[in-house]
């Protein structure tokens, strides 16, 4: 970066709706940790978004503490990045309300995540669920962020954020930059589940998802049950998806590249032993996850420490949010 140039602003969030997994880690957290050294970062726990699917708040406090702890255990430094809780920044709700006037019912109803949720919870199709992308746009636009580290499943929400921001700019004057989804690799990630169907998820596919809180034995058990193709492959055919998924997971958790190359070769010449391959993947995952799990466990119950971090993070986030809201209200003429 040029000397004296302002740092780009980065914003992202994770819902406290369950245990974090390798998808959250590689899609989001790993990027947060790298970005905190280069950019001006705002990372939050999206507790208001969680209410769109989990009206029962009994577990919320525990879940918020765990997400915070897992952020820090993954390497996030609360002295570098602002780490806060969404509901502690009330300017989020102010901007959400104003942005609702930039969002049309038809486009909200077409959102893929909305359609999925309608199927999952037909008896609770609340307005918060419909306007979920507007709240997410408010999170991002509130800091005038340009880069948003997320997994592939959030791509459409980012597109909608740009639409709402551009509509605002068009109508009232330029306030918001265009936010882009970001990953340090070439593409946004979708970390696959171990059953060969879909992605790792906080609430579905639990035996095919590796959580950052899984103990060593559970990791081994899950990996040994992972789906693989029986037999080798036909000449010239691409690698079966379930096996390619395991190879991808090996790359993510740091299996040495010569070992990966030998499994790939064995797959194509028909000599692959899936048991050996899974054992290697399991041990590499255990090595990768156990330090994060242990660190998170130590932090999770330290209420005082987590409270201090949340307060410090919210103060920094509110400062940035208030500066944006002044510009927003000026642009809209809501400045009397």
- One character per residue 188-227, x = contact with ligand TYM (rule: CB under 6 A): -xxx-------xx---------------------------
14 SS3 class: strand
Contact between 142 and ligand TYM by CB under 6 A: the answer reads no
Handedness of CA 166, 167, 170, 172 (dihedral sign): negative
Cβ distance to ligand TYM smaller for residue 272 or 296: 296
User: What does the angle CA 223 – CA 224 – CA 230 come to, to the nearest 5 degrees?
Assistant: 115
Applying CB under 6 A, the span of 150-158, 170-178, 235-243, 304-312 interacting with ligand TYM comes to: 150-158
* Among residues 76, 108, 150, 249, the one that binds ligand TYM under rule CB under 6 A: 150
66 binds ligand TYM (CB under 6 A): no
Nearest residue to 22 (alpha-carbon basis) of 198, 181, 184, 212: 212
Residues acting as catalytic residues: 117, 199, 202
Strands laid side by side in the 9-14 sheet: 82-85, 40-45, 9-14, 147-149, 180-182
Which residues face 182 on adjacent strands? 149
Decide if 112 contacts 152 (C-beta within 8 A): no
13 binds ligand TYM (CB under 6 A): yes
Told to check if 12 binds ligand TYM by CB under 6 A, we report yes
Question: For residues 4-16, b (16+ Cβ closer than 10 Å) or e, as one string?
Answer: eeeebbbbbbbbb
Number of residues that bind ligand TYM (CB under 6 A): 25
Query: For ligand TYM, what does the binding mask look like between residues 268 and 307, x meaning CB under 6 A?
Result: ----------------------------------------
Q: Find the shortest distance in angstroms from Cβ 29 to ligand TYM.
A: 8
Are the beta carbons of 69 and 292 closer than 8 angstroms? no
> Rule CB under 6 A: which residues touch ligand TYM?
11-15, 23-24, 27-28, 46, 49, 136, 139-140, 148, 150-151, 153-154, 157, 189-191, 199-200
């Amino acid at each position: 970066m040029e000397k004296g140039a302002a740092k780009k602003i980065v914003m992202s969030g994770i819902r406290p709706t369950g245990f974090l997994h390798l998808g959250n880690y590689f899609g989001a957290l790993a990027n947060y940790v790298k970005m905190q050294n280069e950019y001006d970062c705002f990372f939050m726990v999206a507790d208001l978004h969680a209410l769109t699917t989990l009206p029962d708040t009994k577990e919320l406090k525990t879940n918020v503490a765990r997400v915070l702890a897992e952020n820090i255990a993954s390497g996030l430094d609360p002295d570098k990045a602002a780490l806060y809780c969404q509901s502690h920044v009330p300017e989020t709700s102010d901007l959400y309300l104003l942005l609702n006037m930039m969002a049309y019912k038809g486009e909200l109803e077409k959102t893929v995540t909305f359609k999925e949720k309608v199927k999952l919870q037909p008896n609770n199709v609340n307005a918060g669920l419909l306007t979920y992308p507007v709240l997410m746009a408010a999170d991002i636009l509130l800091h005038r962020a340009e880069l948003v580290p997320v997994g592939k499943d959030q791509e459409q929400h980012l597109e909608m954020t740009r639409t709402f921001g551009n509509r605002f700019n068009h109508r009232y004057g330029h306030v918001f930059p265009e936010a882009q989804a970001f990953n340090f690799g070439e593409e946004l990630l979708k970390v696959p589940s171990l059953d060969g169907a879909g992605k790792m998820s906080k609430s579905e596919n639990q035996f095919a998802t590796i959580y950052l809180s899984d103990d060593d034995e559970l990791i081994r058990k899950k990996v040994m049950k992972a789906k693989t193709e029986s037999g080798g492959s036909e000449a010239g055919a691409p690698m079966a998806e379930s096996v390619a998924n395991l190879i991808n997971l090996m790359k993510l958790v740091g299996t040495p590249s010569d070992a990966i190359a030998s499994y790939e070769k064995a797959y194509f010449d028909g000599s692959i032993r899936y048991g050996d391959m899974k054992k290697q993947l399991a041990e590499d995952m255990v090595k990768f996850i156990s330090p994060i799990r242990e660190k998170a466990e130590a932090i999770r119950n330290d209420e005082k420490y987590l409270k201090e971090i949340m307060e410090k993070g919210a103060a920094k986030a509110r400062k940035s949010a208030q500066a944006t809201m002044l510009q927003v209200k000026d642009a809209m003429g809501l400045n009397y």
